Structure 1
Amino acid sequence: MKWIKQIYDCFHAYKQWFLILIATSLLFSYLAWLAYPETFKVLVGLMIVFTLTMISLSVFMIMIKQKIIETVFQDFLLEPNEANEERLCRVSPKTHWSLIRRMGSVIRSYQSELNDQVIELADYENYIEGWVHEIKKPLSLMTLVLDNRSDEMSSLVRQRMLHVRDQMLGDVERILYFARLGAAHKDYIFESINLLAFCKQTVEDHQTLLDEAGFQIQFIGEEMGILSDRKGLAFILEQIIFNSTKYVAKNQDHPILEFETIYDEMHDQTILHIRDNGPGVSEEDLAFIFDKGFTGGRGTYTRQATGMGLFLVSKMAHDLAIQLEATSGLGSGLSLSLIFPHVKQ
């Protein structure tokens, strides 16, 4: 079927020339009828054979020429240097040479700019990764001091220092996961996880942040098993916790963070609802909270809003096949639902 389409495309591209050839044949057939009526049938037969032969030969030669041009053009696209540009000019009609040279110049210009951007991006990524590894050294020293010299500082100072350290660790983790978003290979290891116990462990790991914000933690529902990557899931829960502590409403007396597990029998899914009673999100902003850099109305509550936390959550959830849903309203807090598919092992 491919060659039939090629023949059709050839006829369509050169139809005016084929129509001229057919019209010329018809004219000569008419003249033969006027001049040689006794041999008209023989002459017309020869004219038809000649016309069909010329059309077939032309189509065949055009298809071969087109195949050569396509091959050279593919080489030119893969490597748009001047050598391939000249090769393409040699096999193409002379009327196209100026267009080919202009196209080659534009492609090489864009390719040069792209190469420069790739080099700059690689340098930036190397710098960020180096900075992350360097910042871990003072963080480790801070942790060592807090663990071994806690008796030399008041409990309030120690709690504030732990709070600052955990915030810095969270920022470092976000940078690392953001840098890994474009990685070709991601080292996810899916294993069985007890969801409610995992939530409790994650909360314990960030208890200082929650204590500093005065949060009361509630766990509702029964223990349920899921299949997921521990590091990835921990990152999702951490970012949601950071998000809740960051957006505590001013003068809020009793901030609450609630974890609830539910099994949806109809759709065979395990659902984790994470709710807070913070300022909430307006209806017009709710559809955009997972967009990169979006802060919306909630961003006015703190100058630390970057719009990256929930964006990274959505990216990680996509990698782990977790469906995200959000419900909220101004003054009614934010509820995020993590929907885990049932996987038969």
Structure 2
Amino acid sequence: MNQSWKIFKRYAPWLLLLLCVDGLAAVLLWLADIQAFYSLMAFIILATILLFSVVFVVVCYHEHRKEQAFESFLSNPDELNEKTLLKLSSDAEREMILLLGRVLREKNDSIEQLLTRVLDYEEYVEAWAHETKTPLSLLTMLLDNRREELPENFAFKLDYIRNRMQEFINQMLFYSRLKGSQKDYLFEHINLSTFIKEVLEDYLPLLEEKQFQIMMQVPDIFVYSDKRGLNFLISQIISNSIKYSCTTNIPELSIKAFKTDHSYVLSIGDNGIGVHSCDLPYIFEKGFTGDSGDGRKKATGMGLYLAKEIAKDLNIILNVESEWGKGFTMEIAFPIVDDPHS
């Protein structure tokens, strides 16, 4: 209807011109023979309107076909669609359509080449990250089996290096996955209590080194999520709690879970240096590090950004509470999904 109205407004001057011609003919007919005027004038006006209506319907049909052909041409500017559009176009439009088709095909070729390069880069990054995990696994085995033979400070440094490398590799993999064309999430019911304990095991040497007091109150709650994505998200929070722990107090890590009317909530809090209130709205921004101490000057600002992006994909809501010098708390809200274990 809107398209027909646009066409009508475009050709309305022609209808007015025809009516003006009819008016002139009516005046001349009236002057020549008033009896003929009364008998023929209604027929002339009716014939004019009927002629315009027929032409208008034909034009609407032609314009509709032309619009469909143009949309097909834009979505796939191959030679077949181009020829179809050229048949429905005027001579003045054909040269522009030929030029447009050539430009669009060149752009499509460039986009296809770029997509191929991006996919190759994604595959290379993932392959590199997986290859790098092999020496990290060997380092983990060394620390697990030979820790007692290593000096305590040396073992702690190796643990710190291993964790940092693992974090950077995971960040790279998840950034590649988030920005890539394919996302291989596997949703399943996860026992939150067991899962948190498994995540904490990776950070246990660092937590013990900094003498963290861990308070955990997580019942057997089952959430529906992706294990790898959730592991990365929680690991970022625990890692930040370790990095930004306060040296003047005994560091604490509080982990608890509870159920609300609409979701399961996992709360992870610490008594570390916290975040300035002016920085709090921006902590999930890409590359944002804030000015909360020297530790954050060395940060990449990618951890919480990736955590937020993964939370969107996993349908998880993140809420943050923090006060400078009084700690940082992240609440992770999971939607309630029917649990087969309940």
Structure 1 residues 204, 54: CA separation in 2 closer, same or farther (over 3 Å shift)? Answer: same
Is 1:341 matched with 2:339? no
1:255 to 228, 251, 258: 251
Conserved in 2, the CA contact under 8 Å of 1:256 and 1:277?
yes
Q: Could you say what secondary structure the match of 1:206 adopts?
A: helix
Q: Which amino acid aligns with 2:156?
A: Q
1:227-271 Cα shifts (integer Å, max 9, x gaps): 33333322221111122223335x44422221122333xx34322
Aligned length: 338
Using the alignment, how far apart are the partners of 2:160 and 2:129 within structure 1? Answer: 19
Using the alignment, how far apart are the partners of 1:18 and 1:311 within structure 2? Answer: 62
After superposition, residues 93-242 of structure 1 pair within 5 angstroms as: 93-181=90-178, 182-193=180-191, 195-220=192-217, 222-242=219-239
After superposition, residues 3-42 of structure 1 pair within 5 angstroms as: 4-42=1-39
Q: Which amino acid aligns with 2:251?
A: P
The normalised TM-score by structure 1 is 0.86
Partner of 1:52: 49
Using the alignment, how far apart are the partners of 1:83 and 1:243 within structure 2? Answer: 58
2:61 to 35, 41, 64: 64
Using the alignment, how far apart are the partners of 1:105 and 1:209 within structure 2? Answer: 61
Using the alignment, how far apart are the partners of 1:336 and 1:151 within structure 2? Answer: 35
* Alpha-carbon offset, residue 11 of structure 1: 0.7
* Alpha-carbon offset, residue 325 of structure 1: 0.6
Is 1:330 matched with 2:342? no
The normalised TM-score by structure 2 is 0.87
Structure 1 residues 257, 304: CA separation in 2 closer, same or farther (over 3 Å shift)? Answer: same
Using the alignment, how far apart are the partners of 2:219 and 2:120 within structure 1? Answer: 48
Structure 1 residues 81, 41: CA separation in 2 closer, same or farther (over 3 Å shift)? Answer: same
Conserved in 1, the CA contact under 8 Å of 2:214 and 2:254?
yes
Conserved in 2, the CA contact under 8 Å of 1:167 and 1:209?
no
Q: Could you say what secondary structure the match of 1:143 adopts?
A: helix
Partner of 1:311: 305
Q: Could you say what secondary structure the match of 1:325 adopts?
A: strand
Using the alignment, how far apart are the partners of 1:29 and 1:234 within structure 2? Answer: 86
Higher mean displacement: 11-20 or 90-99:
90-99
After superposition, residues 61-100 of structure 1 pair within 5 angstroms as: 61-81=58-78, 84-85=81-82, 87-100=84-97
Higher mean displacement: 251-260 or 220-229:
220-229
2:243 to 243, 246, 250: 246
* Alpha-carbon offset, residue 73 of structure 1: 1.1
Structure 1 residues 85, 11: CA separation in 2 closer, same or farther (over 3 Å shift)? Answer: same
Moved over 4 A (4+): 81-87
Is 1:272 matched with 2:269? no
Conserved in 1, the CA contact under 8 Å of 2:244 and 2:272?
yes
Q: Which amino acid aligns with 1:338?
A: I
Structure 1 residues 28, 296: CA separation in 2 closer, same or farther (over 3 Å shift)? Answer: farther
Q: Which amino acid aligns with 1:127?
A: Y
Q: Which amino acid aligns with 2:275?
A: V
* Alpha-carbon offset, residue 38 of structure 1: 0.7
Using the alignment, how far apart are the partners of 1:114 and 1:174 within structure 2? Answer: 27
Conserved in 1, the CA contact under 8 Å of 2:289 and 2:296?
no
1:69-108 Cα shifts (integer Å, max 9, x gaps): 1232123212325664465344223333454345445534
Using the alignment, how far apart are the partners of 1:174 and 1:128 within structure 2? Answer: 11
Q: Which runs of 5+ in 2 are unaligned?
A: none
* Alpha-carbon offset, residue 47 of structure 1: 0.8
Q: Could you say what secondary structure the match of 2:7 adopts?
A: helix
Q: Which runs of 5+ in 1 are unaligned?
A: none
Conserved in 2, the CA contact under 8 Å of 1:223 and 1:261?
no
Structure 1 residues 104, 212: CA separation in 2 closer, same or farther (over 3 Å shift)? Answer: farther
Q: Which amino acid aligns with 1:260?
A: K
* Alpha-carbon offset, residue 148 of structure 1: 4.1
Using the alignment, how far apart are the partners of 1:198 and 1:321 within structure 2? Answer: 18
Structure 1 residues 337, 62: CA separation in 2 closer, same or farther (over 3 Å shift)? Answer: same
Higher mean displacement: 213-222 or 328-337:
213-222
* Alpha-carbon offset, residue 51 of structure 1: 0.6
Q: Could you say what secondary structure the match of 1:25 adopts?
A: helix
